[in-house]
Amino acid sequence: MASALARRARGSAAVLWGAARGFASVGSDIVSVAPGVSLQKARSWDEGVATKFSTTPLKDIFYGKKVVIFGLPGAYTGVCSQAHVPSYKNNIDKLKAKGIDSVICVAVNDPYVLNGWAEKLQAKDAIEFYGDFDGSFHKSLDLEIDLSAALLGHRSHSRFKML
C-alpha cells in the first residue's frame, strides 16, 4: 500500500497563505484517504482521443510499487520549472538505486498542459506527469486552496512530497 510521508514546503507559501494546514499524516494510505480518485496521465490531445480520455485510478498508480509523488501549484510556474522538477529529473538514478519504482509529478492542470511542460523540461523519460484535472486528489488530501481572487482558480495549496 502507498504510504504518505507528507512534508509541507515552508517559506513564501506560509507567508502568503497563513498558518500551516492539516495534511495526510505519516503512514496514511493515500488510496484510502482519496478513494475513487483518478488522475490523467500527461499526453497529447491525439493520445487523449485514442484512449477515450481515460483516467488512471490511484490504486493503479501505487499498487505494488514504491512511488515518490510530488505536487506543485501548477505547470510553468517559475521556481517549479527552474528548480523543483529538474532536481527530481537530475536525481532519478539515485532514487531508482534506492528502490523507487517511479517518480510522479501532480498538478491541478489538464494533461495536455502538463504534457507540453514535461516536454519543454525534457523530463518525460524520467518523471511521470499526471493532471489532477478537477482538483479531487488535492481536495481529498486537504492540499487545495482557492486562488480565484488571483485569477488562478483552485490550486495546490503548496508544494508537497510523499513516498
Domains of the chain: 3-162 (3.40.30.10)
Side-chain half-sphere CA neighbours of 109 within 13 A: 23
The residue to which cell 480518485 is assigned: 37
The values of phi and psi at residue 96, to 5°, are -65, -35
Question: Residues with catalytic annotation?
Answer: 80
- In this structure, are strands 67-72 and 102-107 parallel, antiparallel, or unpaired? parallel
Cα gap 41→111, rounded to integer Å: 6
pTM of the model: 0.77
Q: Is the pLDDT of residue 128 over 70?
A: yes
Which of 60-64's residues contact partners 24+ apart within 8 Å by CB, and which partners?
61/104, 61/130, 62/1, 62/2, 62/30, 62/31
**pLDDT the model gives residue 19:** 38
* pLDDT (mean) for 110-136: 94
Please state, in angstroms and rounded to a whole number, the distance separating the CA atoms of residues 82 and 113.
17
Tell me which of 44-53, 94-103, 109-118 is least confident.
Answer: 44-53
Q: Pick from 61-70, 111-120, 136-145 the range whose average pLDDT is largest.
A: 111-120
Q: Is pLDDT above 70 for 119? A: yes
Mean pLDDT of the chain: 78
Please say if the pLDDT value at position 92 is more than 60. Answer: yes
Give the Cβ contact number of residue 119 at 10 Å.
13
Rounded mean pLDDT, 29-46: 83
- The answer to whether 104 touches 69, Cβ cutoff 8 Å, is yes
Lowest mean pLDDT across 12-26, 45-59, 119-133: 12-26
**Whether pLDDT at 10 is above 60:** no
